Amino acid sequence: MKTKNSAALFSQACQVIPGGVNSPVRACKSVGCDPLFVAKAQGCTITDADGNEFIDFVGSWGPMILGHGHPEVIKAICETAPHGTSFGAPTALEVELAELVCDSVPSMEKVRFVSSGTEATMSAVRLARGYTGRKVIVKFDGCYHGHADSFLVKAGSGVITLGIPGSPGVPEDIVKNTLSIPYNNIEILEKTLRDASLDIACVIIEPVAGNMGVIVPELAFLRKLRELTAELGIVLIFDEVITGFRLALGGAQERFGILPDLTCLGKIIGGGLPVGAYGGKKAIMDLVSPVGPVYQAGTLSGNPLAMAAGLAMLKVVRRPGFYEELEEKSSWFAEKLAAIGAAAPVPTVLNRIGSMMTCFFTDAPVTDFVSAMKSNTEHYGQHFRQMLASGIWLAPSQFEAAFVSAAHDRTHLQKALDATVASLTKLAAA
Ligand SMILES: *Cc1c(COP(=O)(O)O)cnc(C)c1O
């Protein structure tokens, strides 16, 4: 595989951008190589700066559920741009997308658009604190909610990948109001939430964890979380930045039939442009300024290009049969993958729900942060490099999801399965 152009771009980038990347997970450090620079992508194919082509299972870390360059999304962007790219005043597109979001996501009555998932989660937490008049937030070990100060406690995604316990630059004063407890553990959950001395404003959770690799919660755990928070007047926030419009039109909350008070969205909702959103019950959302006193604002919020792209994307996923087809394809793929893993010379565990999955290099079930961390990241790194060499683009970290998109067909998926067999065999030989 030629990497001359990517290597040259990377060394140039390192001079002017920290680590040569604008988001740390892109750096590929944990898998023992340098990043490939992308030239273009179409459907499920991504092409790097040296002209190498790969089948993409990263999908820009979640947004590209239709694959890259979907004609309806591109058309919407191209038709919107000539009318102006930002006004700092409301537009019809925002209203239309807000109506579509509230109609799709069962617990959302009102929604506020922002420009990233991080902005959505930090704003939702501020709102929960404003609404309850309490201070403490509870999160779960290995869940990632963006890079705002209060979430960088036992966080997932790049924070695990790079082995950072918290982050310098985040004052003790801030993190002392964040409690992180184990995912899927009902006993610790109940004990923590019932401790009245804690002054808990909200619990924020990924209703399916995607940032320590995919971990599907036990239904009893999620139900208990809903029951307890309702009983104790604690705001329950579902961070559906990955799962929203991924697991169902109405996200994990629709799939599990459990409704949070507030929901955070991102990734898919922007059709590949920068968008986030938070929303929920009117009684809580009407505390947001200018109706209420909880301040939150954004110069580019509700940006017309991003709204147009998001609208086009949502219109496609709302068509009858979209999620059924994606589920059918993903379950076919995952069953084959699990069988390959089971026959492999090194132990693997496949976790999957819908079109998101992670193959962990470990021999025991992965149900929380501690069990995820038992994975053999050396094996993953080698597997990553071998898959890349066979034309399969996986996330450069064990602790991330692989996504199947509407653009993957059986031929693409079969190629990935064949590459997996070859790679796992070589792992054992090493
Ligand atoms: C990606 C992600 C975020 C952060 O979104 P950004 O757009 O990267 O700021 C928050 N929560 C979850 C669950 C995510 O996967």
Cα(277) to centroid of ligand 1, in Å? Answer: 11
Question: What's the CATH number where 402 sits?
Answer: 3.90.1150.10
The pTM assigned to this predicted structure is 0.97
Looking at the structure, do residues 313 and 333 belong to the same domain, yes or no? no
Give residue-wise pLDDT tens across range 297-327: 999 999 999 999 999 999 999 999 999 999 9
Cα(206) to centroid of ligand 1, in Å? Answer: 10
Q: What distance in Å separates the CA atoms of residue 183 and residue 371, rounded to the nearest whole number?
A: 11
Please name every residue paired with 43 in a beta bridge, in sequence order, or none if there are none. Answer: 68
Residue in the block written with tokens 């079109």: 355
Give residue-wise pLDDT tens across range 131-149: 999 999 999 999 999 999 9
Looking at the structure, do residues 220 and 125 belong to the same domain, yes or no? yes
178 and 139 Cβ atoms separated by less than 8 Å: yes
Cis? peptide before 293, omega within 30° of 0 = no
Looking at the structure, do residues 367 and 423 belong to the same domain, yes or no? yes
Q: What distance in Å separates the CA atoms of residue 374 and residue 365, rounded to the nearest whole number?
A: 10
Closest CA to ligand 1's atom 11: 145
What is the structure's pLDDT at 163?
59
Using pLDDT thresholds of 50, 70 and 90, give the confidence band for residue 260: very high
Average pLDDT, stretch 241-265?
98
Average pLDDT, stretch 121-133?
98
Q: Which of 294, 258, 299, 255 is nearest to 278 (CA)?
A: 294
Does the beta carbon of 243 lie inside 6 Å of ligand 1? no
Does the beta carbon of 121 lie inside 6 Å of ligand 1? yes
Using pLDDT thresholds of 50, 70 and 90, give the confidence band for residue 160: low
Does the beta carbon of 144 lie inside 6 Å of ligand 1? yes
Looking at the structure, do residues 78 and 206 belong to the same domain, yes or no? yes
User: Among 160-174, 343-357, 371-385, which is the least confidently predicted range?
Assistant: 160-174
Looking at the structure, do residues 167 and 295 belong to the same domain, yes or no? yes
Average pLDDT for the chain: 96
Secondary structure of the chain as H, E, C letters: CCCHHHHHHHHHHHHHCHHHCCCHHHHCHHHCCCCCCEEEEEECEEEECCCCEEEECCHHHCCCCCCECCHHHHHHHHHHHHHCCCCCCCCHHHHHHHHHHHHHCCCCCEEEEECCHHHHHHHHHHHHHHHHCCCEEEEECCCCCCCCHHHCCCCCCHHHHCCCCCCCCCCHHHHCCEEEECCCCHHHHHHHHCCHHHCEEEEEECCCECCCCCECCCHHHHHHHHHHHHHHCCEEEEECCCCECCCECCHHHHHHCCCCCEEEECHHHHCCCCCEEEEECHHHHCCECCCCCECCCCCCCCCHHHHHHHHHHHHHHCCCCHHHHHHHHHHHHHHHHHHHHHHCCCCCEEEEECCEEEEECCCCCCCCHHHHCCCCHHHHHHHHHHHHHCCEECCCCCCCCEECCCCCCHHHHHHHHHHHHHHHHHHHHC
Domain that holds residue 391: 4-69+321-429
What is the structure's pLDDT at 430?
63
Residue in the block written with tokens 């597997």: 383
What is the structure's pLDDT at 196?
84
Does the beta carbon of 261 lie inside 6 Å of ligand 1? no
Looking at the structure, do residues 245 and 274 belong to the same domain, yes or no? yes
| Ligand 1 atom showing the smallest separation from residue 242 Cα | 15
Using pLDDT thresholds of 50, 70 and 90, give the confidence band for residue 167: confident
Looking at the structure, do residues 176 and 293 belong to the same domain, yes or no? yes
Closest CA to ligand 1's atom 14: 241
The β-bridge relationship of strands 235-239 and 262-265 is parallel
Question: What's the CATH number where 80 sits?
Answer: 3.40.640.10
Using pLDDT thresholds of 50, 70 and 90, give the confidence band for residue 165: low
Domain boundary, last residue among 317, 340, 359: 317
Looking at the structure, do residues 349 and 212 belong to the same domain, yes or no? no
Looking at the structure, do residues 254 and 148 belong to the same domain, yes or no? yes
What is the structure's pLDDT at 174?
84
Residues of the chain above pLDDT 70, percent: 98
Which positions are catalytic?
A: 144, 239, 267
Looking at the structure, do residues 292 and 354 belong to the same domain, yes or no? no
Domain boundary, last residue among 264, 298, 317: 317
What is the structure's pLDDT at 378?
95
Give residue-wise pLDDT tens across range 404-427: 999 999 999 999 999 999 999 999
Task: Give the count of domains, the chain.
Answer: 2
Looking at the structure, do residues 283 and 391 belong to the same domain, yes or no? no
Average pLDDT, stretch 384-399?
97
Domain boundary, last residue among 286, 317, 348: 317
Cα(62) to centroid of ligand 1, in Å? Answer: 9
Looking at the structure, do residues 331 and 404 belong to the same domain, yes or no? yes
Closest CA to ligand 1's atom 5: 117
Give residue-wise pLDDT tens across range 186-245: 999 999 999 988 899 999 999 999 999 999 999 999 999 999 999 999 999 999 999 999
| Ligand 1 atom showing the smallest separation from residue 143 Cα | 13
Cα(216) to centroid of ligand 1, in Å? Answer: 18
